[in-house]
Amino acid sequence: MNKNELIFFFERDLKKLITEIELYKNEENIWRIEKNISNSAGNLTLHLIGNLHTFIGKEIGKTDYVRNRELEFINKNVPRKELIDSINDTIEMVKKSLVSLTDEELKKDYPILKFPKVETNEYLLVHLINHLTYHLGQINYHRRLMDE
């Protein structure tokens, strides 16, 4: 997979995330949890933003992002507009971080051991796309359950 394809998938799915957040009729429902649903759409959104800023922004784009993973799951009631602005910032960060990557750099080892063995930048980026789409599906389902 080349950098343009990777950028396409990240941008496509982050824009779908914005659409999901916009589709909540009641903004409060973005943060609802019930029964066996332990993460709200808002917290999953914060988690995705933190994840991408850490593994793409900080490590590939060399930003100064500092992650507080715990806050991704305990922050509540962040306004919808702020979530959307943060997702848009994440889209720009991904594009800026990946646009200058060469095919050779994609094949290089990712600088942090995140998996049981050393993997390439490309492997990590494909993993992050899968992680994004997994949570995007959860958010879609959450919206349809919680925002009746």
Contact 1, 127 (CB under 8 A): no
- Digit-by-digit pLDDT tens for the chain (148 residues) are 999 999 999 999 999 999 999 999 999 999 999 988 899 999 999 999 999 999 999 999 999 999 999 999 999 999 999 999 999 999 999 999 999 999 999 999 999 888 889 999 999 999 999 999 999 999 999 999 998 7
- Cα–Cα distances in angstroms (integers) from residue 132 to residues 5, 15, 49, 128, in the given order: 15, 11, 9, 6
Q: Are 94 and 10 in contact (CB under 8 A)?
A: yes
pLDDT for the residue numbered 148: 75
| pTM score of the predicted model | 0.96
- One-letter amino acid at 72 equals E
- Answer for the pair 146, 29: CB distance below 8 angstroms, yes or no: yes
CB 36 within 8 A of CB 10: no
pLDDT at 105: 96
The reported pLDDT for the residue numbered 50 is: 98
> What ranges do the domains of the chain cover?
3-146
In which element (H, E) is residue 44 found? helix 41-52
Rounded distance between C-alpha atoms, residue 80 and residue 106, angstroms: 34
Number of H helices, E strands in the chain: 6, 0
**Fold held by 3-146:** Four Helix Bundle (Hemerythrin (Met), subunit A) (1.20.120)
